[in-house]
Amino acid sequence: MTMDHGRKGPSVAPLLANLLSDPQSVMGPGYTQAHSIQPVVPAAASVPNAPVLPPSPASSSSRSSATRRTMSRRPASPDTQQQYASADVQSRESASYGRRRATTACMVCRARKTKCDNQRPICGFCRTTNGACGYPDDTAADFSKLDRGSLAILQRISEMEQTLTAVIGDRMSVVGSVGSVVNAGNTGPFSTPASIPGSAPSQRSFSHDNYIDFDNPPISMATAAMHHQLPNTGDSPPTADVITKSSEMRVENILQWPVFHTQGYPSLAVVLGQESSYRPFSSSDGMLDLDADTINQLVENFLANNHIKNPIFVVDQLWARVRDISETGLRWDGSTCLVLLICAISVLSPPITAEGQPGYSRRADRLQRAEHFFQMAQRRIGVLYHTNSLLAVQCSFLTAVYLMTTFRIMAAWKAFAQAGTQCVGWMAAREHKMAATPSDAMDMDTGVDGEQHMEESLYWSCLKSELELRTELELPGSTLNEMQYSHEYPSPPNPEQLVDGHGQGQTQTQREQLERGWFFYLAEIALRRIMNDTLSSRYASGSWYYTVPWWTAAGEDWLRSDIEGFRQKLDTWQAMLPTAMRFQVTSEEPTYDALRGILRGHYVDILDVLYFPSVRAVVCSRRYEEVGLYVVEAAREGLLNAVYRIKICKEGFYHRHQGTWLMVRTCSRSVLQLLAVALRARDEPAIAHLLPDGWRDSTMQLLSLLDYWQHESADLALLQVRIREILADLDSTALS
């Protein structure tokens, strides 16, 4: 809806006056006089230090320059200050109300600037519109010397604020009866979410010991349906609040479930924060072989195995930078920093088939060589931190990618936050630039299309990488996720701009590789958007997860609707995949393709998120027989998905890349859900049938995975010890 600023609307003024004067127009037809609040007029007694507005230009200009100079030379005495303040107020009142035609007009008519018939106690207009009629003469004495217009505004603001507070308080007293679970350090329906104010301990549907409590049921289904709010999904990434609440699925929070009896398990941020991000390296390694041919080979490998996942460069522009560095040598500038980062990542990026067995991904010589390139790049990245350029965003993003690849997670979080912040700054300036640039002035020769392509790709690469990491760390990031999607999807580059390292056009094989890369990139973004909507649908304030008893037979349709709705989206996404990216959702065979393997892993991630509440309901319920039948069936599907995840991820167990740490964490989450059900089955044998075949083998596979990577990240070493303890507890029970 647009607004015509050229019209001074006599039709708009009555509507505004009615809105301000009629509580029903604000609060709706259900508003009654029971909510009515008497107006409160501020007085000097309640405002001891009432502000004095600056004098009007008319009163200021009446002072002589000599007087102003005298005042600037020495401080005025208290009597003089009082004199000036009194003169200012009088002059302001006279300037503001010099033409008083209706001194007894009511406040509503004065606000509308229309003639008032001055009838008491209610004028004709307010009687017709049910307005809150009042006269200035009826107000208390104003010792603060505020003019009457300001008093009228303050009175109406006070009225509306108190009215809104009363109505919202009534509604929250109903919503406050919705159950929540109390879990120290956790969020979600198993804790006391800040999004549900007014919840009292006696009203919670979950107890302090983290069990579901059916003795205190939540609000009725009719009331829940009335107060349920549909989250705003589809147009925006998940908010910071949603990301924080979704951290209930972290392994540290799962270990707090009652069945594990975990005491004193440290937080992830504390464990990771104690590790140093600096890795020692030999200054003589790596640089001797960095000639032009070596740089070209490393860049080609980067384009084949890394850039294909996050195409944040225009290829011909990247090769132009590479040729420049090869000809002039290393410099202390941003281009050199970029090329060194590409070399560092490329050293650690062989094809997935080369790291199918343990050993190669942890070879010390490869890690030393990559670290040397990385440290040389970091010595040059400082020149980019304060520049508003795409080069700065690219270098910060590649820094984060390398740090994730080498398991320096806290440092990677900072780098992703830096990249996201730089991306926001670039887009803010870009929007202003684009607004000032005629659309018909942008063509292929200006380079704007190349910038637009890189901006779109950087936005999505920074956003999805940051969201993946923040969900695990439960830490803030950049403001990138607080914006609406700046770009629905990134635009593929113009094929005419693609060249190889020698300035020649790309071969057919290289073009096919680029095409596959963009098929993957767009499919991954579509899947990330489904994940974002899944999280927002559950964890947004006022969602079904917080307002209905979804774990019971009476409320399980809410969970069913959520699962089936997003399963349908996943089926549609899978059916629309191009042939090069398709995979069988039921096949456990290796893909031997990093791109399809990543897509299959993300697909399983969303299924895990969908089924997670049902698994927790089964494990944390006091009385299993009162859990809804569909919830139990969904828990069974979730456990099958957990075993399936371990099987499909096995081909990448020893493959080092940006997402290796995240893969280990999600596999650990799946196994912990299996172990939780196994532990609960000791006390509740009826749920033993939920455990799928091969669950114990999946646990042993995870332990081998943790054993391989535990020296790279301290949290993985702690996790391995805790899972072995849980497994020993299970074995001891079986023997007894």
The pair phi, psi for residue 228, each rounded to 5°, is -65, 135
Instruction: Give, in degrees to the nearest 5, the angle at Cα 514 between 444 and 491.
Output: 45
Strands of 341-438 (E only): list them. none
- pLDDT confidence band for 286 (50 / 70 / 90): very low
- The token duo for 391 is 């080069």
Residue 13 has pLDDT above 60, yes or no: no
Nearest to 232 by CA among 1, 606, 543: 543
Cis peptide leading into residue 189 (ω within 30°)? no
- Using CA atoms, how far apart are residues 651 and 594, in angstroms rounded to an integer? 10
Instruction: Give, in degrees to the nearest 5, the angle at Cα 733 between 732 and 736.
Output: 85
- pLDDT confidence band for 129 (50 / 70 / 90): confident
Residue 366 has pLDDT above 60, yes or no: yes
- The token duo for 78 is 């208290």
- pLDDT confidence band for 172 (50 / 70 / 90): very low
Q: What is the pLDDT of residues 396-409, one digit of tens each?
A: 999 999 999 999 99
- Using CA atoms, how far apart are residues 531 and 523, in angstroms rounded to an integer? 12
Look at 195-199, 321-325, 721-725 and tell me which has the smallest mean pLDDT: 195-199
Residue 294 has pLDDT above 60, yes or no: yes
Instruction: Give, in degrees to the nearest 5, the angle at Cα 734 between 733 and 736.
Output: 65
Residue 544 has pLDDT above 80, yes or no: yes
Q: What is the pLDDT of residues 570-579, one digit of tens each?
A: 999 999 999 9
- Using CA atoms, how far apart are residues 83 and 540, in angstroms rounded to an integer? 57
DSSP structure class, residue 626: G
Q: Who has greater pLDDT, 170 or 545?
A: 545
Residue 255 has pLDDT above 60, yes or no: yes
Residues 6+ apart with CB under 8 A from 287: 372, 376
Residue 547 has pLDDT above 80, yes or no: yes
Look at 122-126, 201-205, 445-449, 468-472 and tell me which has the smallest mean pLDDT: 201-205
pLDDT of res. 428 = 87
Look at 268-277, 309-318, 361-370, 604-613 and tell me which has the smallest mean pLDDT: 268-277
Q: What is the pLDDT of residues 235-250, one digit of tens each?
A: 688 999 999 999 999 9
Residue 371 has pLDDT above 50, yes or no: yes
If you average pLDDT over every residue of the chain, what do you get? 76
Residues 625, 655 contacting (CB under 8 angstroms): no
- pLDDT confidence band for 640 (50 / 70 / 90): very high
Q: Who has greater pLDDT, 341 or 156?
A: 341
Residues 6+ apart with CB under 8 A from 409: 272, 403, 469, 473, 661, 713, 715
Q: Who has greater pLDDT, 554 or 284?
A: 554
Q: What is the CA radius of gyration of the chain?
A: 33
pLDDT of res. 572 = 95
- Of these ranges, 93-102, 103-112, 429-438, 677-686, the one predicted with the greatest mean pLDDT is 677-686
Residue 493 has pLDDT above 60, yes or no: yes
Region 421-446: mean pLDDT is 60
Residue 483 has pLDDT above 70, yes or no: yes
pLDDT of res. 735 = 54
User: What percentage of the chain carries pLDDT values higher than 70?
Assistant: 66
Residues 6+ apart with CB under 8 A from 652: 352, 594, 597, 601, 660, 663
Nearest to 181 by CA among 201, 210, 202, 219: 210
- Using CA atoms, how far apart are residues 642 and 634, in angstroms rounded to an integer? 12
Phi-psi map region of 393: left, alpha, beta (phi>0 left; psi -120 to 50 alpha): alpha
User: What percentage of the chain carries pLDDT values higher than 90?
Assistant: 47
pLDDT of res. 301 = 95
Residues 454, 313 contacting (CB under 8 angstroms): yes
- pLDDT confidence band for 541 (50 / 70 / 90): confident
In 3-state terms, what secondary structure has residue 694? coil
Burial class (CB within 10 angstroms; exposed 0-12, middle 13-18, buried 19+) of 487: middle
Region 307-312: mean pLDDT is 93
- Using CA atoms, how far apart are residues 297 and 350, in angstroms rounded to an integer? 12
pLDDT of res. 490 = 87
Residue 281 has pLDDT above 50, yes or no: yes
H-helix or E-strand containing 160? helix 148-175
Residue 168 has pLDDT above 60, yes or no: no
Structural domains for the chain = 101-171 (4.10.240), 287-506 (no CATH), 524-684 (no CATH)
HSE (side-chain half, CA atoms, 13 Å) at 464: 23
Region 486-500: mean pLDDT is 70
- The token duo for 642 is 């957990």
